[in-house]
Chains A and B, each alone.
Chain A
Amino acid sequence: MQNAERPVFELVDVEKVFQVRKPGQRFGRQTVGLHALDGVRLSVGQGASLALVGESGSGKSTLLRVLLGLDAPTNGQALYRGRAIREARAGGSDFARDVAMVYQDARGSLNPRMTIGALLAEPLRRFAVVPEAQIGARVEQLLTRVGLPADAAARYPAALSGGQVRRVAIARALASEPSVLVADEAVSGLDVSTQAQLLSLLRRLQQEMGLTLVFITHDLGVASYLCENIAIMYLGRIVETGPTDAVLAAPAHPYTAALRAAAPSFFQPIAEPLPGEIPSPLDLPAGCRFSGRCPRVQGDCHASDPYLARAGEGRSVACLHPLASPQASALAGTFQD
């Protein structure tokens, strides 16, 4: 693989602005810019596993579209092994073959009129992964790998359960022998036992195949089970990133701490939730975006907008007054500096 020493994905100050109709006007043509992503920096190395965590409106899905080259960043650079992602995507089938996607709505991502066998054979033919004569055998192999019986090949998606359909979606993503798997809420909305089955499958596949994994989830338990690194997003920004265990054991950003406290935990009293809701991205508060809901807010938070700054071993946080890491506040700067 060329540029193997470069990170698989590298985002440098990526901004994505969507032009939307000005709020309050129904028929006018005036538009305003909605910052779905704002100053996102991210690096995903070969074989790494990264969880992107955030609530609705945090920009997770937009970030995913940028990573897959479906949307070009408005500003900044989005690189795949040192090349612009859009360029890599346009320049042949290598990118599409190397970067596979598992969609949130697995059933919707599968053509209901094709059998599972045909669905799995499609990428095998498209990328000429194996000669025509071996396609049947490879389909069987893929089914076994994701824990489905070989006779599933003759069935249609409608005949499978929710968990089985997700397995098919994973098998289809693996068909082109990718080195990167990008998954959007691949285990959400499932029963816990099905979720447990899929998570252990994903972890096994990642270990066996050395996959690079970018996993979008809202569940911190899933993130901590599956991914070595975590990036917490809030309103289009990454507010904290670092090794999952370290970040969750001692969050530096008050938002990370709030997410952690809100995750249900056996017999713990239900934590005092954050007040209010995520503000509209069209009506951002001045200064830090989290200032309106932050329990630790201080005067300067309303004035300056903190950017992601180093805060200890492999960690970064975008906060003027981070928790329990005094050296970080000295390093943190603001965009106004």
Chain B
Amino acid sequence: MTALLNIQSLTVDRGPARILDRVTLEVGQGETVALVGESGAGKSTIATAIMRLLGEAQTSGQITLDGAGDLLALRERDMVGLRGRRLSMIFQDAGAALNPSYTVGRQLISAVRRNLGLDKTAARARAIELMTQVGINDPEARLTAYPHQLSGGMQQRVMVAIALAADPDLLLADEPTSALDVTIQAQIVRLILAQTKARGAACIFVLHDLALASQACDRIVVLYAGQVVESGPARDVLENARHPYTRQLKSCVLEIGTRDLIAPEGTVPSHRDMPRGCRFATRCPRVQDRCWAEAPPLEGGAHSFACWNPE
């Protein structure tokens, strides 16, 4: 199986801060991959870099999309042609992503027309079909609604419809459910999984919830302070974690009936005083002298990790 997306040594600098450091990751056709980690880990930065929407940041490395070459080397007009057609993105706050002054119908139909080149009537029919697919009842009436007239869950459904309008190869979902109530969250995650599967599309979920990642994704990539620390099949990463950070992150997850919580000490180091060696060294229970001096490389096959003293 050739990889749909292959990221090699992606580094992003914003001023003096290195917000992504030599990130390497691969997404197969139709695969669902979770990027997990805490704030500042670089999860959203990876998704934004794939869409090439990072703006002023300095970027190096390669992001190769099958059939399109290195996205970082493309001209902007070629990139515009990929966005919405082969790559789509949905965001945490659907209410902010939708334009408040236009009806959802107008926004959905314009996405369909732009990305599929349909005429007005055909685009409207396709829009209604999409709204039905994402579980919006009475789609014809909802086309004339403004975003504020819809609930958060409905807004996110509209976003999914817009993102999937042109049957993209890869959907980037940046915390698509963290602003929603739990019963609605389950609806949206199931919807995204079902719709991407029906289209054979791959999906990168940016998540902070490890348990949800294990439920929704084939593979999990754990990030810490801008680096990939562990990556592999969901079960291997979570049940046989080799990196101390992955273990720590998992131990913080509260499930129903959790009695003892081992709260880790300290916080993520700031970009001003990032350790020279392993970035996790300041909080690691297994830290050794070597960790302070040298950054560990990400090594291993399907299940890889970056640690000098793995569990």
In the complex, A194→B266 CA distance in Å? 9
In the complex, A200→B238 CA distance in Å? 23
Given A192-B208, A273-B187: A225 touches B258 (CB 8 Å cut-off): yes
Asked whether any CB of chain B lies closer than 8 Å to the CB of A297, the reply is no
Binary contact readout A289-333 vs B (1 if CB under 8 angstroms, 0 otherwise):
000000000000000000000000000000000000000000000
The answer to whether A224 and B257 touch across the interface, beta carbons within 8 angstroms, is: yes
The answer to whether A263 and B256 touch across the interface, beta carbons within 8 angstroms, is: yes
Given A221-B258, A248-B257, A273-B190: A267 touches B248 (CB 8 Å cut-off): no
In the complex, A222→B210 CA distance in Å? 15
Asked whether any CB of chain A lies closer than 8 Å to the CB of B311, the reply is no
Report B144 CB to chain A, min CB distance, Å. Answer: 16
Query: Which chain A residue lies CB-closest to B37?
Result: A191
Among A40-48, A69-77, A176-184, A254-262, which stretch is in contact with chain B?
A254-262
Which of B153, B183, B210, B262 gathers the greatest number of chain A CB atoms within 10 Å?
A: B183
Asked whether any CB of chain A lies closer than 8 Å to the CB of B198, the reply is no
The answer to whether B254 and A245 touch across the interface, beta carbons within 8 angstroms, is: no
The contact of A264 among B39, B211, B235, by CB within 8 Å, is B211
Report A236 CB to chain B, min CB distance, Å. Answer: 16
In the complex, A163→B254 CA distance in Å? 17
Asked whether any CB of chain B lies closer than 8 Å to the CB of A56, the reply is yes
> CB-CB < 8 A to A193: which residues of B?
38, 248-249, 252, 263-264
The answer to whether A270 and B190 touch across the interface, beta carbons within 8 angstroms, is: yes
Given A225-B259, A267-B214: A191 touches B182 (CB 8 Å cut-off): no
> CB-CB < 8 A to A225: which residues of B?
254, 258-259, 261
The answer to whether A200 and B263 touch across the interface, beta carbons within 8 angstroms, is: yes
Binary contact readout A177-213 vs B (1 if CB under 8 angstroms, 0 otherwise):
0000000000000011111110110000000000000
Asked whether any CB of chain B lies closer than 8 Å to the CB of A220, the reply is yes
Asked whether any CB of chain A lies closer than 8 Å to the CB of B184, the reply is yes
Given A194-B267, A197-B264: A266 touches B186 (CB 8 Å cut-off): no
Asked whether any CB of chain B lies closer than 8 Å to the CB of A265, the reply is yes
The answer to whether B264 and A274 touch across the interface, beta carbons within 8 angstroms, is: no
The answer to whether B216 and A270 touch across the interface, beta carbons within 8 angstroms, is: yes
Query: Which chain A residue lies CB-closest to B153?
Result: A277
In the complex, A196→B210 CA distance in Å? 14
In the complex, A89→B205 CA distance in Å? 48
The answer to whether B259 and A195 touch across the interface, beta carbons within 8 angstroms, is: no
Asked whether any CB of chain A lies closer than 8 Å to the CB of B151, the reply is yes
Asked whether any CB of chain B lies closer than 8 Å to the CB of A271, the reply is yes
> CB-CB < 8 A to B256: which residues of A?
220-221, 224, 248, 260, 263, 265
The answer to whether A55 and B182 touch across the interface, beta carbons within 8 angstroms, is: yes
Query: Which chain A residue lies CB-closest to B254?
Result: A221
> CB-CB < 8 A to B257: which residues of A?
224, 245, 248-249
Asked whether any CB of chain B lies closer than 8 Å to the CB of A268, the reply is yes
The answer to whether A197 and B258 touch across the interface, beta carbons within 8 angstroms, is: no
> CB-CB < 8 A to B249: which residues of A?
192-193
* Chain B positions 157-188 with a Cβ under 8 Å from a chain A Cβ: 181-187
Given A191-B38, A192-B208: A277 touches B151 (CB 8 Å cut-off): yes
The answer to whether B259 and A262 touch across the interface, beta carbons within 8 angstroms, is: no
Asked whether any CB of chain A lies closer than 8 Å to the CB of B101, the reply is no
Query: Which chain B residue lies CB-closest to A260?
Result: B256
The answer to whether B181 and A56 touch across the interface, beta carbons within 8 angstroms, is: yes
Report B210 CB to chain A, min CB distance, Å. Answer: 8
> CB-CB < 8 A to A265: which residues of B?
211, 215, 255-256
Report B195 CB to chain A, min CB distance, Å. Answer: 14
In the complex, A274→B185 CA distance in Å? 10
The answer to whether B183 and A192 touch across the interface, beta carbons within 8 angstroms, is: no
The contact of B181 among A55, A222, A245, by CB within 8 Å, is A55
Asked whether any CB of chain B lies closer than 8 Å to the CB of A269, the reply is yes
Asked whether any CB of chain A lies closer than 8 Å to the CB of B209, the reply is yes
Query: Which chain A residue lies CB-closest to B36?
Result: A192
* Chain A positions 215-263 with a Cβ under 8 Å from a chain B Cβ: 218-222, 224-225, 245, 248-249, 258-263
The answer to whether A196 and B259 touch across the interface, beta carbons within 8 angstroms, is: no
Binary contact readout B35-61 vs A (1 if CB under 8 angstroms, 0 otherwise):
000110000000000000000000000
Asked whether any CB of chain B lies closer than 8 Å to the CB of A134, the reply is no
In the complex, A161→B267 CA distance in Å? 9
Report B246 CB to chain A, min CB distance, Å. Answer: 12
Binary contact readout B205-227 vs A (1 if CB under 8 angstroms, 0 otherwise):
00011111011100000000000
Which of B151, B182, B251, B262 gathers the greatest number of chain A CB atoms within 10 Å?
A: B182
Report B291 CB to chain A, min CB distance, Å. Answer: 19
The contact of A221 among B193, B235, B255, by CB within 8 Å, is B255
Binary contact readout B237-256 vs A (1 if CB under 8 angstroms, 0 otherwise):
01000000000110111111
In the complex, A218→B264 CA distance in Å? 23
> CB-CB < 8 A to A163: which residues of B?
267
Which of A196, A220, A271 gathers the greatest number of chain B CB atoms within 10 Å?
A: A196
Report A281 CB to chain B, min CB distance, Å. Answer: 13
The contact of B258 among A224, A259, A268, by CB within 8 Å, is A224
Query: Which chain B residue lies CB-closest to A278?
Result: B181
In the complex, A262→B253 CA distance in Å? 16
The answer to whether B263 and A259 touch across the interface, beta carbons within 8 angstroms, is: no
Contact sample, A vs B, 7 pairs, CB 8 Å cutoff: A200-B263, A245-B257, A264-B211, A264-B215, A266-B253, A273-B184, A273-B186
Interface of A with B (CB < 8 Å)? 55-56, 161, 163, 191-197, 199-200, 218-222, 224-225, 245, 248-249, 258-271, 273-274, 277-278
**What 4 A-B pairs have minimum CB-CB distances, sorted nearest first?**
A221-B254, A273-B186, A191-B38, A264-B211
* Additional A-B contact list (12), CB under 8 Å, known A195-B254, A260-B256: A194-B38, A199-B263, A218-B181, A221-B253, A221-B258, A225-B259, A245-B257, A248-B257, A270-B186, A270-B193, A270-B215, A271-B186
